[in-house]
Chains A and B, each alone.
Chain A
Amino acid sequence: MATTLNHKTSNLGSIIAHHRDAILHAWSRDMIGSTRRNDLMKESELQAQCQQFLSLLQQATSQGSNIQAPAYDQLRDMLTEISRTRAIQGFNSRETAMFIFSIKQPLFTAIRESLGKDAAAMAEEIWLTTEIIDGLGLYTTEAYIKTREDTIRRQQEEMLELSTPVVKLWEGVLALPLIGTLDSARTQVVMESLLEAIVQTNSKVAIIDITGVPTVDTVVAQHLLKTVTAARLMGADCIISGVRPQIAQTIVHLGINLLDITTKSTLSDAFSIALQRTGIKFVRAQKKESVE
């Protein structure tokens, strides 16, 4: 069977060699109609890709039809690169896959011209070609999706880093404005960065502002409690601010005990308590009135 395959596929290689120009011409003409995006990619670039693909396909098919074989390494590398750049350029998955699938018709035409007299050989050749092109198309789509997933993962990581800034409000007073939903992974980062900052800045009070947290459920409350307790163990006091009315209701309905923790409705209230605790008093300059 292997020899038959090799024999048949080596045919495809020579067919491509014979009809190279016709295939290229028909292929790029087809692409104009279906999937070409002049706004995203230059014509010359696309032509170069087509030519390179066809040469590599010709080389590879002359050595078998198994697209996982080493003979296809170069071709697969090229497709990975194409999918990667197209994912970045903004092509959608359909447009990326159609780059490969649109070569089918020109190839079939070429096969028919070469083997038109031998129906059985033609059917065999077309089947093999379909198999190869489908395999390559799927491979391209996989590579495309992988690139997109990598992008999403990278963005998630960046978001995780960016979303937990610890800011210093005053000597000995830190604030941690939380934005977005808290899950276990994020809370771990939040907790660690807050505690590290407490050590680094020698802060006695830390304010956790949850104005930007959309919902507080038992898990989130649990995480907050843990962070506050850990900070207390290190010798710092935690204040939770930005508790909205709905959140206050939810917390009480869920039966979460936040009694041991100072909670304030706004960051400014929390800040003034924090200053009071660090022993700082503000006095109005002219009237000399205490602004506590």
Chain B
Amino acid sequence: MEKIPILRMGEFLLVTIQVDMHDRLALTLQDDLTNRISETGAKGVLIDISSLEIVDSFIGRMLGNIASMSRVLDAQTVVVGMQPAVAITLVELGMSLEGVRTALNVDAGMELLRKSINGHEEMEYGSYFR
């Protein structure tokens, strides 16, 4: 069965979505990721969706859910590299993914994660530039 690989980088987990997401795959990812977080005790999750070109409301909600679940498991989630078309689609669908933090690319996302791990008091969105 198809699976999206979850890579471990120090205290972070790295998920790169490079295939078209379908609902089954998304649910599998959700399952795998939550398991891996609790196994490894990861402090942060970085989801790279720069190759994702098509989203629907289900995938959008799934991204939001993964972020909320990770937070419950004490890991920060950053979504990086969203394509303009995907962003427009999500906005038009009325999903602004409140609570999910975003960054332009993997570099910026990693920096954001490191900062938020180092300073736990700055956990709200908006801490990025401080």
Complex Cα–Cα for A279 and B104 (A): 16
Bound-complex Cα distance A198 to B128 (A): 17
Chain B residue nearest to A196 in the complex (CB):
B84
Residue of A nearest to B104 (CB): A235
| Stretch of A24-32, A39-47, A82-90, A223-231 at the chain-chain interface | A223-231
Question: Interface 1/0s, chain A 122-138, versus B by CB < 8 A?
Answer: 00000000000000000
Quick one: which of B83-121 are within 8 Å of A by CB? 83-84, 86-88, 90-92, 96-97, 102-105, 108-109
Q: Please state if A195 and B88 are interface contacts (CB–CB under 8 Å).
A: yes
Q: Is there contact, CB below 8 Å, between B82 and A233?
A: yes
Docked-complex contact B84 and A236, CB < 8 angstroms: no
Which residues from chain B contact A231 at a C-beta distance below 8 Å? 87
A278–B104 alpha-carbon span in the complex (Å): 13
Q: Is B80 an interface residue (CB 8 A)?
A: yes
**Is the CB of A234 closer than 8 A to any CB of chain B?**
yes
Show the binding face of B for A, using Cβ within 8 Å: 79-84, 86-88, 90-92, 96-97, 102-105, 108-109, 128-129
Contact flag A235-B102 (CB < 8 Å), given A230-B91, A278-B129: yes
Partner of A191, one of B81, B88, B109: B88
- Whether the Cβ atoms of A204 and B104 lie closer than 8 Å is yes
Contact partners of A232 in chain B: CB under 8 A: 96, 102
Shortest C-beta distance, A145 to chain B (Å), equals 37
Q: Of the candidates B88, B90, B103, which one forms a contact with A235 in the assembled complex, judged by CB atoms under 8 Å apart?
A: B103
Establish whether residues A235 and B82, one from each chain, have CB atoms under 8 Å apart when the complex forms.
Answer: yes
Residue interface bits A190-219, CB-to-B below 8 A is 1, else 0: 011001101100111000000000000000
Contact across chains for A233 and B91 when beta carbons are under 8 A apart: yes
Q: Which residue of B lies closest to A231 (CB)?
A: B87
| Distance (whole angstroms) from the CB of B69 to the closest CB of chain A | 19
Question: Which of A191, A195, A202 is most buried by chain B, counting CB atoms within 10 A of its CB?
Answer: A195
> How many angstroms between the C-alpha atoms of A203 and B102 in the bound complex?
13
Which of B84, B92, B128, B129 touches A234 (beta carbons < 8 Å)?
Answer: B84
